[in-house]
Amino acid sequence: MYRKMERYKVNFKDIVVIIMITLAVTFVIKQFYMISTVDGYSMESTLYDKEMLILDVNAYDKEKPKYKDIIVFERRDLIQRYFIKRVIATEGDTLKIENNKLFINNELIDEYYIKEEMITEDLEVKIPKGKVFAMGDNRNNSMDSRSYIIGLVDVKQEIIGKAIFSLTELKKIE
């Protein structure tokens, strides 16, 4: 009987150690990554409603956002607080939409990733320091930087992370 009790004590200690290690690893992972769920259709045909993503929350600590990065950002002043969009223009760029065509620094951009041809108003904007212009891939069904409600996205204050992997599709986000 005594030996059985001793065996259970060892197993209990092992379980406590495993739980502690799991909690420590989880804490460390959460410092670098988080899981986010797509809510809506603005990123179709790249991402879909309810798709689960892994975000790199430190992606922009040492580097700046780049064209085509997919980001999640937060707008605390709006009812819908979280948005997922593609970075289209970064600080210093001049973005122009003319006749439903996108130009960055006067270069026509081939947007192979958008769901359908964009139908939108003409626009021209120079992107200031610390901001990005972000749009959904489903351009005709996306509230994004084209809207005065969203506007330009502040890199330091609003971006939560860069989408790097789809848990739903089990593939890297590009």
Catalytically annotated residues: 42, 85
First to last CA, the chain: 60
Give per-residue burial for 57-85: e unless 16+ CB within 10 Å, then b.
bebbeeeebeeebbbbbebeeeeeeebbb
Residue 151 buriedness (CB in 10 A; 0-12 / 13-18 / 19+): middle
Residue 12 buriedness (CB in 10 A; 0-12 / 13-18 / 19+): exposed
d(CA 24, CA 103): 47
